[in-house]
A and B are shown apart, each in its own frame.
Chain A
Amino acid sequence: MTTAISASPNGRGWDCSLDGGTCLINLKGDWVGRTDGVDPKSPTRILATGARALSFDAGRLGHWDSALIAFLFDLRAAAKDKGVGFDEAGLPAPARHLLGLMATGPAAGSTPPAAVPAAPLLDRLGTWTMQRGAELGQGSALIGSLVLRGGLSLRGKAAMRSGDLVEAMFDAGAAALPIVTVVNVLVGGILAFIGATELRTLGAGIYVANLVAIGMVREMAALMTAIIMAGRTGGAYAATIAAMRGGEEIDAVRVFGIPVFDYLVLPKILALTIMMPVLYLYGCAVGMLGGLVVGSATLGISPLSFFIQARGALSDTQLFFGLSKSLAFGALIAIFGCQFGLRAGRGAADVGKAATSAVVAAIVGVIALDALFDVCADILRI
């Protein structure tokens, strides 16, 4: 009795004929994985013939690669499961060699770890909460060391190198000037536009100067500069530190006994905290300049009267209020950047994740903190 089935979609493949209990598989044509792939159903179809042993004829086999090996590998595994004999003798010698390689099983030292069963919901919730708690603890610890080491560094007793601080201050300050300029000029101009359209109808066009001055000094200069710096510098801090962790650079710092905080974190946080108020003041100035340009273009306010009006609207308290905001924002952005960098994983994707989280957290944090400042100011009637 002879049954014959075949799977030859395009000239390559196999057909088999059952003779007695032995299934003779004719391999023919080219087996190229890249173009032809592997048909995962072939082993089942062959074994469905009811064969008790498999043998091969590779007489018409053309060029082959791992597609053939994958087919034979699956077929051999399926045959072993069903207790069907597998006679390799008809296969080309290299193919037999490769099959032999896979027979040895996993190499020593590569046994996979046992799968961890999924924990119940309550356990996972507990673990999650504890992890968040631990992160909060780490964040507080970072702020704690900032206060301690920062105090020491002011007296020149921390291990921070002054060169690092200067470099970080340049990065967080002078290098950021172009974008801080562009954004604050535009925001000042936008405030003036909004004011001009409304105030003109009341004949109170000159109060555009008040609006721009108070708007920039109390709110916008600090907020916009902080958002820019969160994206620009906070994200860079997180990415740099995370990449250093991945490359074992931080481990190298640590094993020397160099305090990681002094070397890596302190200069960054100090630099941004020091430079932020400076950028804020600069932002106020260029913002008002933007307002002045728009004000004189749309309402014909002369620069001198704009300046006098703005000077009258501002008080020291408002400037102090804006300065304290920018100081707090700078510290917050730098702390978030360093914190997310330090606790990042070690892969390439972890660097991206750390940068993203640092920027998002810093922007949300800055806006929330700004709201808090305003609530306090309202209560204190500043």
Chain B
Amino acid sequence: MDPSPEPALTVDKLTVAFGKKVIQQDVSFKVAAGSIFAVMGGSGSGKSTLLQAMIGLLTPSAGTIRVGEEDYWAATEERRAQIDRGFGVLFQSGAMWTSMTVTENVALPLRMLTDLADPAIEALARVKLALVGLSGSGDLMPAALSGGMTKRAGLARALALDPAILFLDEPSSGLDPMTARRLDDLILDLREGFQVTIVLVSHDLPSLFGVCDDGVFLDGETHTAIAHGAPKALRDDCQNPTVRAFMHRERAPADAAGPTAEAGISK
């Protein structure tokens, strides 16, 4: 992709842990500005935990995360809140605020964090909903949205403040393949239009191959990153057996070797 000299996000020797339980350690990678960066790994490998550290919800136990030039976790809380305004986050479940309409969901960050007048806020919220294809659904309550629409609405809300970096947690989870594909296209379109940097946490192979330029592969066994590179490149060239198995949707090396009953039957 764009060979930008200045990475949007630099993660250096990061360790995330819950108390004494280390989830991931010594993880380092750079997210180039304007790229779509994949955080890959199996279920329970700590992808979402790493994401939490990147978006300010979980203090890492070691290592640094730099946003542009600035050390995110070394900054004061006020400064971190300012940096956060440059982030947009799409949560796995959408996490829409259930007590307000979709439009109000998108408008809330603008109302709380800017001095804009109501007509301007409404115009900006409207354009975001139009961008994700939800023009006609602004007055609905989140409970009335389907799974795909909830993701789109969450994406519109993530875009509310025109973030420089967009974090997407499993955007295609729970969606049918066609809806997931449409969402992938939308992600590409938004990157194209807003030149935004996107960090995408996923284990959905078609999505990973379809949209990501670069990435890091987290291993739940060794608790660290075991491969770096674009998902397609990892699929074609990576020699690590776990990564290979993941990318080709095969049994994990340990399971495949073991003479388990299930393995015997399905072969």
Contact = CB atoms under 8 A, between A and B. Distances in A.
State yes or no: do A and B come from one complex: yes
Contacts of B99: 347-349
A346 B143 CA distance: 8
Nearest to B188: A97
Given A37-B116, A106-B134, A66 B124 contact: yes
Interface stretch (B18-26, B191-199, B239-247, B254-262): B191-199
Contacts of B192: 94, 97
Contact of B189 (A73, A97, A349, A350): A97
Given A102-B131, A107-B182, A109-B148, A33 B193 contact: no
B137 A106 contact: yes
Interface in B1-29: none
A34 B131 CA distance: 17
A94 B98 CA distance: 33
Given A65-B194, A94-B193, A101 B131 contact: yes
A264 B149 CA distance: 34
Contacts of A39: 120
B162 interface: yes
B134 to A, nearest CB: 6
B264 interface: no
B149 A98 contact: no
B194 A348 contact: no
A35 interface: yes
Which of A39, A70, A113 has the most chain B CB atoms inside 10 A of its CB? A70
Interface in A278-327: none
B127 interface: yes
Interface string A241-270: 000000000000000000000000000000
A296 B82 CA distance: 63
A98 B131 contact: yes
Contact of A111 (B98, B126, B132, B136): B136
A184 B52 CA distance: 48
A66 B126 CA distance: 10
Given A70-B127, A97-B193, A349-B99, A40 B134 contact: no
A36 to B, nearest CB: 8
Which of the four size classes fits the interface of chain A? 35 or more
Interface string A66-83: 110110011000000000
B152 interface: yes
B117 interface: yes
Contact of B159 (A66, A67, A112, A113): A66
B130 interface: yes
Given A65-B162, A106-B133, A101 B120 contact: no
Q: Majority SS of interface residues in chain B?
A: helix
Given A39-B120, A97-B193, A109-B148, A34 B114 contact: yes
Nearest to A33: B124
Given A40-B120, A98-B193, A109-B146, A66 B127 contact: yes
B265 interface: no
Contact of A32 (B85, B130, B162): B162
Interface string B129-172: 01111111101111110101100100000010110000000000
Which of the four size classes fits the interface of chain B? 35 or more
B162 A66 contact: yes
Interface in B26-65: none
Nearest to B85: A34
A110 interface: yes
B138 to A, nearest CB: 8
Given A102-B131, A112-B137, A112-B140, A37 B124 contact: yes
Interface in B93-128: 97-99, 110, 113-114, 116-117, 119-121, 123-124, 126-128
Contact of B128 (A32, A66, A104): A66
Contacts of B137: 106, 110, 112
Given A66-B128, A109-B148, A111-B136, A37 B161 contact: no
Contact of B136 (A101, A102, A106): A106
A40 B152 CA distance: 25
Contacts of A350: 98
Contacts of A159: none
B98 A348 contact: yes
B82 to A, nearest CB: 12
A346 B141 CA distance: 12
A110 B130 CA distance: 12
A40 B116 CA distance: 12
A176 interface: no
A102 B126 CA distance: 11
Nearest to A353: B99
Given A33-B162, A106-B136, A109-B146, A69 B116 contact: no
B84 to A, nearest CB: 13
A65 B146 CA distance: 29
A35 B114 contact: yes
Given A67-B124, A109-B148, A34 B195 contact: no
Contacts of A228: none
Contacts of B130: 73, 102
Contacts of B142: 347
Interface of B: 85, 97-99, 110, 113-114, 116-117, 119-121, 123-124, 126-128, 130-137, 139-144, 146, 148-149, 152, 159, 161-162, 179, 182, 186, 189-190, 192-195
30 contacts: A33-B162, A34-B85, A34-B110, A34-B114, A34-B116, A37-B120, A39-B120, A40-B120, A65-B194, A66-B162, A66-B194, A70-B123, A70-B124, A73-B126, A74-B123, A94-B193, A94-B195, A97-B189, A97-B192, A97-B193, A98-B189, A101-B190, A101-B193, A105-B133, A106-B134, A107-B148, A110-B136, A347-B141, A348-B98, A349-B99
